[in-house]
Structure 1
């Protein structure tokens, strides 16, 4: 049996919920107040059997600090996601995209070592369970348009503006 703790934190953008494993790693997160929006994104092998609402410790602190303007507060938060080799690698690469310097899907694919795999790079963003900590919002369409975002284009617009 595995237990994870979750909490919803009010932010200037929208309510933000994070599900955190017993060792402090983020399993899922996003701008929502519903666990039903988050849990389906967690790989079955990582999905907790029990969820308790409570103190998510340093993760909560990082969420608040990020939204208050400390854009680096999220950088060292542990994240746990599972998928195939390319997605795992792509999520690691996303964590290297600096705040205020978004990349295009084509640039992200190239940084991930597969320049022709633009659709796979977009899929890595779409399947990212740990939004904010794996900053898929920092990937834009060619030409700088926002493209899609699980938490809504308006949230993505606010995040890009916050990081500029």
Structure 2
């Protein structure tokens, strides 16, 4: 982000509540997003990005189009978004594996670790989900503690359940 001088942000209404996204305006790379208002999601930004000025953008942007497309039934629309979040090579592998998962699919943390290439690194896979700054776009809500239990979610189990149910109903 060395050449980035500002960020743009928008908050969109979704069936799951307000969804806020931050991106770099020059390349429309998504830097952080989550469920809540601007002030709720800003702390999720990487430290270096928190110092940048943020301009509201309620016009057309890649994230706004993708959210609209997903809600209209194109469950693969987030795949076209460019994303960037700092993380170790294993975390990057976890996040890539999540982006490759199908809407409505559920996997355990163990399965995520296997898909990311380190089957014994279940705790590290759990940590990758906890540190995900690109919620919904990098769908950590699809990871469950076990087949019988959902596990935690940064924005609450109710939103996790709603996302999983909505994806299952719309795939």
- CA-to-partner distance for each residue in 1:113-141, whole Å, 9 max, x for gaps? 11111111011111000111111111111
| Structure 1 pair 145–68 and aligned structure 2 pair: CA distance change class (3 A) | farther
Structure 1 residue corresponding to 2:156, chosen from 152, 156, 164: 152
Spell out the pairing of 1:6-25 with structure 2 (5 A cutoff).
6-22=9-25, 23-25=27-29
- Partners of 1:4 and 1:48 within 8 A in 2: no
1:99 and 1:56 map into 2 onto residues whose CA distance is 25
Spell out the pairing of 1:27-46 with structure 2 (5 A cutoff).
27-33=31-37, 35-46=38-49
Q: Relative to structure 2, which stretch is displaced further, 125-134 or 54-63?
A: 54-63
Structure 1 residue corresponding to 2:75, chosen from 51, 62, 71: 71
**Once the 2 structures are TM-superposed, how far is the Cα of residue 82 of structure 1 from its aligned partner?**
0.8
Q: Relative to structure 2, which stretch is displaced further, 55-64 or 70-79?
A: 55-64
The number of aligned residues is: 163
**Cα RMSD, aligned residues only:** 1.6
Spell out the pairing of 1:30-109 with structure 2 (5 A cutoff).
30-33=34-37, 35-47=38-50, 49-54=52-57, 55=59, 57-109=61-113
SS at match of 1:149: coil
Per the normalisation by structure 2, the TM-score is 0.88
Structure 2 residue corresponding to 1:114, chosen from 112, 118, 123: 118
Unaligned runs of at least 5 residues, structure 2:
none
Q: Relative to structure 2, which stretch is displaced further, 35-44 or 94-103?
A: 35-44
